[in-house]
Chains A and B, each alone.
Chain A
């Protein structure tokens, strides 16, 4: 038990340090960069959800963006139709997506092989139809318009807060909570039993771990985290089919793989890469006479090559060395 307490305390100190660092850093940023940092943190939560799923079960999901959409829609419809506060929205997004994940996971996560990948891909593609089917609640093609709102008066009386800064201040604590939750989870009995199932199903079953149930639980936790990220992601202005396209799911997967599967710091590095790669490409080709067609598709092309190169050359990802040491 002492060992767990140590890990717990160590993670708490790490998370708080990161939080204070990012908080102080944000004061030196332009509003645009504060928004970018908030975006990184939102997507980081989404990538973390994939890190849990893949790192703990070895499965991948191609529909993590759709799970984010479930979270986004459930919080946005509460905020729009019932006037709930965004914090209630986050809470509801977390649990609603968990329930959704339970239904989905019961069907697909117990089955090994490529079933979960294919099923989640179908869900990602089916999202616009669902939004149209329940247009009165979900807003159809357009979606629901929501935002981060304004800071409460006790903050704005104290200090002047810009919109981007407020956005970051909302996202930061949620992201840190998710980070803290997940880094501890992996060290607990539950997390270890998940890894046991991943590494050797028969061995885990013999040690008394219910394999099928464990796989479903992993998927439920992963879904809930994704829903939380999705709720934040939608608050940037709009919750609609165009905000959570299939490419979002693939971006999250790419970030998780590039950074290093199952590695939390890898998830952060991977997120940084996928967020800033398009900017970097724009900057790199800005001096060259490149056709619009090429510049439109260049980020996707490079991402595809990066993904393929990672999986062929170093499937452990950027944080691969650290990951190997742990084993």
Chain B
């Protein structure tokens, strides 16, 4: 029974992190029409920055905040230097052939560059990453409770982020502007919203969300240039399960995957995790390509 409960709690904590990463993907997809395959590469990069700050004697919290800020800056830089010029490029026959895949290819190029740079600067070997609070199960007399302080910390942090994002997107001018720009750029522009600035903002928010996901997941995966690839595909699957254009769907998808993966790992074998992800991804696309909460525009063919 204790195993089951601890599996559920670990799954929920990991699911919360996946939800965050999936949310990052959804925000850029809605805001800029790009599935950013470089997102967890950016997160890997900023987690390395945090890791180095801690290694040179700074506190976890300083590193935490610096990583989040550099995550959003990196997102903005990618938009300003690469994605915005791409979006404004005149179309030729080649761009027509590739159409929507150009930003995907660009994001892969960015991923390759970030991973190579991290390898050149820091790699050598895999390193661990600390947690701010204890990650051992709580002691309860002789036995243990089936969760750790770090589990609670993760769930709490993600909950705060989700609530503030909900507030941001429903109550503030900038948040509403971003939604308008995503929904209908033309009309948004006519009502005085700076659409390209909103796009940059969505890259920044998504970059920070990805960075946070990286900081929270690395204690359990260790840090190397490639470790977060797995988180990217889990986040992508979560986003597709929930509906690629639905933030709430991304959160639900993330939790489903987190708990599902924890159950498969505990009661099946860890090797089956990838197969389970693949199965879920294919099944969703066959049965409900719009995802649980997605809009109607996904399928054309």
- Chain A 109-124, CB within 8 Å of chain B: the 1/0 string? 0111111011101110
- Contact B106–A308 (Cβ < 8 Å): yes
- Contact B233–A125 (Cβ < 8 Å): yes
Number of residues from B at the complex interface, CB < 8 A: 57
Chain A residues whose C-beta falls within 8 Å of the C-beta of B98 in the assembled complex: 54, 58, 60, 261, 315
B-contacting 9-mer, from A167-175, A181-189, A230-238, A295-303? A295-303
Chain B residues whose C-beta falls within 8 Å of the C-beta of A294 in the assembled complex: 120
- Contact B108–A118 (Cβ < 8 Å): no
Least Cβ–Cβ distance between A308 and chain B, in angstroms: 4
Tell me which of A201, A262, A308 contacts B113 (CB under 8 A): A308
A-contacting 9-mer, from B153-161, B165-173, B211-219, B274-282? B274-282
Interface flag for A62 (CB, 8 Å) = yes
Interface flag for B52 (CB, 8 Å) = no
- Chain B 109-134, CB within 8 Å of chain A: the 1/0 string? 11111011101100110000000000
B-contacting 9-mer, from A28-36, A78-86, A90-98, A319-327? A319-327
Residue in B closest to A115 when the chains form the complex, CB atoms = B285
Contact residues of A: prevailing secondary structure: helix
- Contact A121–B301 (Cβ < 8 Å): no
Tell me which of B100, B116, B230, B240 contacts A301 (CB under 8 A): B116
Interface flag for B272 (CB, 8 Å) = yes
Interface flag for A145 (CB, 8 Å) = no
CA gap between A157 and B31 in the complex, in Å: 68
- Contact B110–A304 (Cβ < 8 Å): yes
- Chain A 96-136, CB within 8 Å of chain B: the 1/0 string? 00000000101110111111011101110110111011000
- Contact B120–A293 (Cβ < 8 Å): yes
Interface flag for A55 (CB, 8 Å) = yes
Chain B residues whose C-beta falls within 8 Å of the C-beta of A117 in the assembled complex: 35, 37, 101, 104
- Contact A110–B272 (Cβ < 8 Å): no
* 8 Å CB interface, B242-278 against A: 244, 271-275, 277-278
Chain A residues whose C-beta falls within 8 Å of the C-beta of B123 in the assembled complex: 293, 297
A-side residues, CB < 8 A to B, are: 54-55, 58-60, 62, 104, 106-108, 110-115, 117-119, 121-123, 125-126, 128-130, 132-133, 198-199, 201, 211-212, 215, 246, 250, 253, 257, 260-262, 293-294, 296-298, 300-301, 303-305, 307-308, 311-312, 315-317, 320, 323-324, 327
Q: List 30 A-B contacts (CB under 8 A).
A: A54-B98, A54-B101, A55-B97, A60-B104, A104-B282, A107-B283, A110-B299, A110-B301, A114-B35, A114-B104, A115-B289, A119-B281, A122-B277, A128-B274, A129-B273, A129-B275, A130-B275, A212-B301, A250-B108, A253-B105, A253-B108, A260-B94, A293-B119, A305-B113, A312-B82, A312-B106, A316-B94, A317-B94, A320-B94, A324-B94
B-side residues, CB < 8 A to A, are: 35, 37, 82, 85-86, 89, 92-102, 104-106, 108-113, 115-117, 119-120, 123-124, 229-230, 233, 236-237, 240, 244, 271-275, 277-278, 281-283, 285-286, 289, 298-301
